[in-house]
């Protein structure tokens, strides 16, 4: 595991040296800067997990540095150091997004404790929810409400909408934030191995079990377990999961003893689980056990106001640690802002990562974008002359009615072949399947993916 990187900013050399000695002694990768201006140059060239800055400095103040850091990279955690007479300014800093402040004189134990608490907010993935849309504001408020309980949460949304990001945010805002967060994709592991992955196994319980193994429920004891694509869980494992949730006990594969576990489960799906219960493909009792608290994630096309914000965020993310300042030309920017995004935020980030690697002169053009984006004129919603392919009437439209109509036309044209319909609409098979279930479209006779 790589060491956490900390930037110490103070205009007094002795203070920088003391902080560097304390933090380096705990194994942190420490860089020092003598001013806010110098700090911003460091941040532009490489990523830091945390910035520890004095509030009162000559030139740029710690408060001004906080504002610039927040504008540049919202994922950076900032802690302020302040003298007694500057506490009011430190409180203002908290309102602006600082994690905490330390009042001088402080002891090394309190410093390290505050730094440790701040870095515990980090995870192996970005946990910053990058959004300015009212749709995602509702999601953020809901996260804060559900985070404080220990109840299970069910996150619904299309593939690529960021369900794991939401699960991590729930964990990081919960009372379990200092404990472990474990994630597993239920569709990515063979069903014969998934039971062992979740509940562990005893030595000799099956071929290849050369020793005992703890499962994710034991590893996540005291913390949070994220079960992605829960709708793909085999029906026999659903019963064992239900028992673990109800009894807070698990039994390893091949084992006989019950093991107590204290785990908060957050599950996610792009399927209609309630519909699956009527088809006997998902246990009704498990559905209601998981669906104590529910969060619905909007598709990216349903929160288009976030696209410019995400573009800026991903451009910075994928040039972090370099001196590059990559920008979009007008053609690429227009296409990216108007594209339909069947793969949602994941597809947008993938397109930007690819374009950053391919672009020349640090300017992304249409040629640097994925071919499927360039070829899908309907998704880009523009013609070669820049005119809109679809004219929005003055009175507006019901977007879901339009979407349903297009889906039904595609299904009719392909004789209910979901795979061919998905290609016509520029969607993935799973996304179209999800939309069909959402709209309650009966798929009798529909051909499945080969």
pLDDT tens digits for range 375-411: 654 444 443 344 454 566 666 667 777 888 888 888 8
Both 292 and 307 in one domain: the answer is no
Query: Mean per-residue pLDDT for 256-261?
Result: 94
pLDDT in tens, 32-82: 999 999 999 998 888 788 999 999 898 999 999 998 988 787 668 899 998
Structure-token match 């319980």, residue found: 205
The answer to whether residue 125 sits within a structural domain is no
- 232 and 160 fall within a common domain: yes
* Residues 212 and 147 reside in one and the same domain: yes
Residue 403 lies in domain: 393-450
Please check whether residues 268 and 313 belong to one and the same domain: no
Q: Of 142, 159, 149, 116, nearest to 224 (Cα)?
A: 149
Summarize pLDDT for 98-111 with one digit per residue, the tens. Answer: 888 888 888 888 89
Does residue 450 form part of some domain? yes
Asked whether residue 261 falls in the same domain as residue 289, the answer is yes
Candidates 348, 321, 355, 299; CA nearest to 73 is 321
Q: Report the C-alpha gap between 8 and 104 in whole angstroms.
A: 15
Question: Is residue 431 in some structural domain?
Answer: yes
> What's the pTM value of the predicted model, to 2 decimals?
0.61
Based on the fold, state whether residues 276 and 398 are members of the same structural domain.
Answer: no
pLDDT computed for residue 17 by the predictor: 94
Please measure the distance between the N-terminal and C-terminal CA atoms of the chain and give it in whole angstroms.
Answer: 41
Residue 168 lies in a domain: yes
At residue 360, φ and ψ (nearest 5 deg) are -105, 150
Which residue did the predictor score with more confidence, 125 or 447? 447
CATH value at residue 339: 1.10.8.60
Average pLDDT over residues 412-430: 82
Residue 48 class from Cβ within 10 Å (0-12 exposed, 13-18 middle, 19+ buried)? buried
159 and 290 share one domain: yes
Q: How many domains does the chain have?
A: 4
Tens digit of pLDDT for each residue in 141-161?
Answer: 999 899 989 999 999 999 999
Q: What is the mean pLDDT of residues 198-205?
A: 90
């Amino acid at each position: 595991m790589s060491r956490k990187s900390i930037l110490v900013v103070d205009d007094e050399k002795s203070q920088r040296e003391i902080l560097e000695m304390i933090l380096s002694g705990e194994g942190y990768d420490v860089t020092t800067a003598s001013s806010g201006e110098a700090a911003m140059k460091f941040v532009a060239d490489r990523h830091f997990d945390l910035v520890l800055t004095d509030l009162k400095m000559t030139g740029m103040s710690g408060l001004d540095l906080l504002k610039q850091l927040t504008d540049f990279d919202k994922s950076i955690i900032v802690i302020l150091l302040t003298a007694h007479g500057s506490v009011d300014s430190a409180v203002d800093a908290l309102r602006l997004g600082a994690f905490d402040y330390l009042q001088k004189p402080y002891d090394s134990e309190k410093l390290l404790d505050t730094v440790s608490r701040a870095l515990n907010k980090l995870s192996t993935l970005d946990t910053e929810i990058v959004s300015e849309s009212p749709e995602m504001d509702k999601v953020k408020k809901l996260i804060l409400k559900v985070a404080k309980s220990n109840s299970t949460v069910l996150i619904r949304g299309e593939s690529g909408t960021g369900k794991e990001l939401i699960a991590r945010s729930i964990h990081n805002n919960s009372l379990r934030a200092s404990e472990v967060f474990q994630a597993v994709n239920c569709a990515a592991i063979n069903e014969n191995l998934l039971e062992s992955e979740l509940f562990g196994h005893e030595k000799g319980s099956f071929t290849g079990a050369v020793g005992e193994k703890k499962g994710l429920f034991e590893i996540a004891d005291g913390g949070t377990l994220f079960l992605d694509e829960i709708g793909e869980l085999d029906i026999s494992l659903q019963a064992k999961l239900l028992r673990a949730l109800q009894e807070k006990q698990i039994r390893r594969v091949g084992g006989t003893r019950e093991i107590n576990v204290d785990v908060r489960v957050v599950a996610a799906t792009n399927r209609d689980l309630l519909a699956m219960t009527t088809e006997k493909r998902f246990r009704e009792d498990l559905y209601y056990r998981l669906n104590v608290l529910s969060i619905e994630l909007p598709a990216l096309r349903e929160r288009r106001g976030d696209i410019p914000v995400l573009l800026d965020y991903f451009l910075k993310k994928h040039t972090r640690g370099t001196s590059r300042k990559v920008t979009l030309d007008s053609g690429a920017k227009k296409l990216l802002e108007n594209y339909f995004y069947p793969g949602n935020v994941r597809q947008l980030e993938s397109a930007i990562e690819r374009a950053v690697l391919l672009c020349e002169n640090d300017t992304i053009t249409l040629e640097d974008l994925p071919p499927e984006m360039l070829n899908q004129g309907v998704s880009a919603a523009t013609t070669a002359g820049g005119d809109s392919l679809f004219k929005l009437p003055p009175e507006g439209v019901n977007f879901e009615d339009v979407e349903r109509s297009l889906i039904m036309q595609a299904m009719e044209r392909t004789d209910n072949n979901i795979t061919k319909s998905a290609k016509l609409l520029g969607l993935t098979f799973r996304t179209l399947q999800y939309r069909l279930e959402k709209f309650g479209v009966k798929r009798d006779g529909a051909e499945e993916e080969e």
